[in-house]
């Protein structure tokens, strides 16, 4: 099945970074003001979702879901839930990390929701890639400058980091002491990260 790319309305300044991570057969869902990224991404929507409070409905010849302005879900969260219901297994979120911290945190929770559903998901911004590490280990090649592990769920035990400048073995990372920031991959190695209990947000700096 095609990967689902959900495009939000946050700033994208380095379109080349995001475009390099897109695939020819991606299925694009543009959410409201995310429509302004069409040209920069060089992509057209397969589906448009939004309440159109921040961007005019383009009324393109494309399937469009118009949402009420007053609702529990953000447009982006609704899009992720909708595409889950349509059976997508892999997701990429772009235009979801920006100046609005409240929207950024809410969008990062989409990664948790998709992980709970057993789906593969990443978020990409101008400088980094983000994913959840839970039941399966994650790996980081030395093409990335740094990586950080953050506890955003309240529970992360049995944390192991291998092939990195600062390794860990069966450690715990607490929400009130985020010491897993700015680690480095050993040259020529692939770093590995795993957690025995709980979940972590892995941020790989491009």
Mean pLDDT by 10 residues, the chain (206 residues): 95 96 97 96 97 88 93 92 98 95 93 97 97 96 95 95 97 95 96 97 96
Rounded Cα gap, residues 102 and 93, in angstroms = 16
Domains and CATH numbers, the chain: 4-126 (3.40.50.10240), 133-205 (2.60.120.320)
Region for 52 from its dihedrals, namely left if φ exceeds 0, alpha if ψ lies in -120 to 50, beta otherwise: left
Q: What is the 3-state secondary structure (H, E, C) of 7-73?
A: ECCCCCCCHHHHHCCCCCCCEEEEEHHHHHHHHHHCCCCCEEEECCCCCCCCCCCCEEEECCCCCCC
Residue 133 in contact with residue 187, Cβ under 8 Å?
no
Q: What is the pLDDT of residues 139-198, one digit of tens each?
A: 999 999 999 999 999 989 999 999 999 999 999 999 999 999 999 999 999 999 999 999
Beta bridge partners of 31: 49
Residue 126 DSSP symbol: S
């Amino acid at each position: 099945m095609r990967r689902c790319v959900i495009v939000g309305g946050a700033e994208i300044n380095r379109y080349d970074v995001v475009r390099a991570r897109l695939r020819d057969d991606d299925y694009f869902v543009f959410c409201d003001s995310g429509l302004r990224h069409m040209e920069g991404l060089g992509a057209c929507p397969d589906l448009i979702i939004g309440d159109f409070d921040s961007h005019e409905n383009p009324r393109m010849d494309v399937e469009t879901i118009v949402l009420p302005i007053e609702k529990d879900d953000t447009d982006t969260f609704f899009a992720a839930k909708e595409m889950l219901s349509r059976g997508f297994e892999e997701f990429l979120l772009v235009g979801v990390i920006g100046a609005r911290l409240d929207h950024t945190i809410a969008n990062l929770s989409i990664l948790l929701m998709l992980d709970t559903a057993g789906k593969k998901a990443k978020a990409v911004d101008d400088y980094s890639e983000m994913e959840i590490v839970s039941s399966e280990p994650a790996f980081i090649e030395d093409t990335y400058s740094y990586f950080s592990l953050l506890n955003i769920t309240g529970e992360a035990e049995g944390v192991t980091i291998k092939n990195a400048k600062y390794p860990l073995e069966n450690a715990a990372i607490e929400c009130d002491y985020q010491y897993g920031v700015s680690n480095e991959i050993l040259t020529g190695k692939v770093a590995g990260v795993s957690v025995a209990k709980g979940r972590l947000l892995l941020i790989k700096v491009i």
